[in-house]
Amino acid sequence: MRIIVTGGAGFIGSHVVDAYVAAGHEVAVIDNLWEHGGGRRENVNARATFVEADIRDDALGRLFADFRPDLVSHHAAQHSVAISSRDPVFDAQINVLGLLNVLENSVRAGAKKVIFASSGATFGEPEELPISEATPQRPESPYAITKMVAEHYLRFYRNEHGLDFTALRYGNVYGPRQDPNGEAGVVSIFIGRFLAHEGVKIFWDGEQTRDYIYVGDVVRANVCALERGSAGAYCIGTGSKTSVNAIYRALVDVTGFEAPIERLPRRPGDVRDAQFDPSLANLELDWQPQVDLLEGMRRTYEFFRDKEPSRAGSLSGRRGA
Name the β-bridge partners of 172. 212
Tell me what pLDDT residue 263 has: 97
Q: For the whole model, what pTM was predicted?
A: 0.94
How confident is the model over 12-34, as a mean pLDDT?
98
How confident is the model over 7-36, as a mean pLDDT?
96
Tell me what pLDDT residue 318 has: 40
Residue 317 has pLDDT above 50, yes or no: no
Separation of CA 23 from chain center: 21
Residue 173 has pLDDT above 80, yes or no: yes
> What percent of the chain has pLDDT above 90?
88
Report how far residue 240's alpha carbon sits from residue 277's, in angstroms, rounded to the nearest whole number: 9
CB 184 within 8 Å of CB 81: yes
- Residue 87: CB atoms within 10 A of its CB come to 14
Tell me what pLDDT residue 76 has: 98
Give kind and range of the element (H or E) at residue 47.
Answer: none
Least confident range from 33-42, 110-119, 123-132, 272-281: namely 33-42
Q: Which residue in 298, 25, 24 sits closest to 5, CA to CA?
A: 25
Q: Model confidence at 183, in pLDDT bands (50, 70, 90)?
A: low
Contacts of 179 (CB under 8 A, 6+ apart): 11, 38, 185, 188
Contacts of 125 (CB under 8 A, 6+ apart): 138, 140, 271, 272, 273
Residue 267 has pLDDT above 90, yes or no: no
* CATH superfamily of domain region 2-174+213-236: NAD(P)-binding Rossmann-like Domain (3.40.50.720)
Tell me what pLDDT residue 254 has: 84
Phi, psi at residue 122, to the nearest 5°? -65, -20
Report how far residue 127's alpha carbon sits from residue 32's, in angstroms, rounded to the nearest whole number: 38
Least confident range from 217-226, 245-254, 280-289: namely 245-254
Residue 172 has pLDDT above 50, yes or no: yes
Report how far residue 44's alpha carbon sits from residue 16's, in angstroms, rounded to the nearest whole number: 10
Active site residue 153: no
Tell me what pLDDT residue 269 has: 79
What residue ranges do the domains of the chain occupy? 2-174+213-236, 186-210+240-274+292-319
**In the chain, what is the straight-line distance between the N-terminal and C-terminal CA atoms, in Å?**
55
Tell me what pLDDT residue 319 has: 35
Report how far residue 135's alpha carbon sits from residue 16's, in angstroms, rounded to the nearest whole number: 28
Q: Specify the pairing of strand 49-52 against strand 71-74.
A: unpaired
Q: Model confidence at 191, in pLDDT bands (50, 70, 90)?
A: very high
- Tell me the pLDDT of the chain averaged across its residues: 94
How confident is the model over 58-82, as a mean pLDDT?
96
Phi, psi at residue 166, to the nearest 5°? -135, 125
DSSP letters of 69-111?
A: -SEEEE------HHHHHH-HHHHHIIIIIHHHHHHHHHHHHT-
Q: Model confidence at 35, in pLDDT bands (50, 70, 90)?
A: confident
More confident residue, 73 or 58: 73
How confident is the model over 31-52, as a mean pLDDT?
93
Q: What does the DSSP 8-state code read for residue 230?
A: T
Tell me what pLDDT residue 36 has: 72
Residue 321 has pLDDT above 60, yes or no: no
How confident is the model over 135-150, as a mean pLDDT?
98
* CATH superfamily of domain region 186-210+240-274+292-319: UDP-galactose 4-epimerase, domain 1 (3.90.25.10)
Tell me what pLDDT residue 270 has: 87
